[in-house]
Amino acid sequence: MKVLKLILKKNFPTLISNDSDLHQKFTKSLKALKEASKQFGIVCEEIIDNIKKEAVVNNLKPDILIKSIFDNAKTIDLTPAIYKQSVTRMRLKNPPGKPNELGDRVHWESLLKIEDNNKLVIISEDGDFASLLDANNIKPFLKDEWHSKTNSSIEFFKDLSSFLKKYLPEFELKEQTEVADNIRLLIDSLATSDSFSTTHYLIHQLNQFYPNFNFEHIKNIINCYLNNSQIYMIIGDSDIYEFLSKLTRHPNYNPELNDEVCYLLNSEDLNQDEL
C-alpha cells in the first residue's frame, strides 16, 4: 500500500482515458485492495484484543500448560535447615549460582532432599549449572555432589529445545530453533571474520539477538574476541567495545568469565600504547 500511495502521488502524464476498460479495471482493483487492507486491519485488531483478554485471565495455551505443570508438581518446603545450608554454600562460593545470591543454591539444597532413586533433569540456560569446559554438561562439582548424596542419576540440558529433541522429538519449538541457529551461524562467522568491516557487520547483527543469548553464546563470543585479531585489534572501536561490555550485563553472563573480559576491556589501553 505504501508503494501504491507513492505512485498515486506522482504527476504522471495521462496515458489512458478515465473511461477506458483498463482504467476501470484498475479503479475496481484499487477499491478491492483498499477494502481488503481495511478488513485485514480489523481482523488483526480483533486477534490482538482477544489475546490481551485471554492473557489477563491466564487462559493462553502457554498459561494453561504451565498451570498444569505446577498443579501436578510436588513442592519442597523451604525449611530452616535448607536455608542455613544454602547460606553456607553461598559463603563458601560453591555452585550453583552467582556470587552473593541464594536463589539457585536454595533450589539445589532443596533438590538434594529428594528421596533416592529419582532421576533429576535440569534445564538451564543461564550457565550457573553448566560446566565451563562443556556447556552441554553440568558442573563436575554438582554432578559429584549429587551422586555422593543421592542414589540416583542426573541429566543436564542447556535449553528446552535440547530436552524436547531427546524426549519429545515430535514437539519442536520452531521459532526458538531458528533463532538459535541464526545466533550460532553469526558466532561461527565472527570466529572466522577476515576483515574489520565484516567484524563490524557481524557485531551489529549479533546485537539484534542479544535478548536470546544463553551462557554458551556469551562464552563463545568472548572467545571470538580473544582469538580473532580482526576483532581484538579494533576492540577500541565504540561498537566492538560497547557490545563486549554489554555482555557482562546480560542475565546469563557468568562472573567466571570475568578474567577474560577484564583482559579484553583493558586491552584497549594496551593497543593505544602500541600505537
Sign of the CA dihedral running 157, 161, 162, 167: positive
Count of CB atoms situated within 10 Å of the CB of 82: 19
Do residues 232 and 268 make contact, with C-beta atoms less than 8 angstroms apart?
Answer: no
How much is the pTM? 0.53
Question: What are the extents of the domains in the chain?
Answer: 80-167, 174-274
Give me the pLDDT at residue 14, please: 55
> Per DSSP, which regions of the chain are E strands?
120-123, 154-157
pLDDT score, position 183: 94
Spatial CA neighbour of 150 closest among 199, 117, 195? 117
pLDDT of residue 79: 95
Contact, 243 vs 203, CB < 8 A?
yes
> What does the alpha-carbon distance between residue 165 and residue 147 come to, in Å, rounded to a whole number?
26
d(CA 145, CA 111): 12
Q: What are phi and psi of 117, to 5 degrees?
A: 70, 25
Q: What angle do CA 247, 174, 200 make, to 5 degrees?
A: 35
Tens digit of pLDDT at every position of the chain (275 positions): 555 555 555 555 555 566 667 778 888 888 888 888 889 889 989 999 998 998 898 888 888 888 888 898 888 899 999 999 999 999 999 999 888 999 999 999 999 998 777 889 999 887 889 988 888 899 999 999 999 898 889 999 988 878 887 888 766 666 677 888 899 999 999 999 999 999 999 999 999 999 989 899 999 999 999 999 999 999 999 999 999 999 999 988 988 899 999 988 886 544 444 43
81 Cα distance to chain centroid: 35
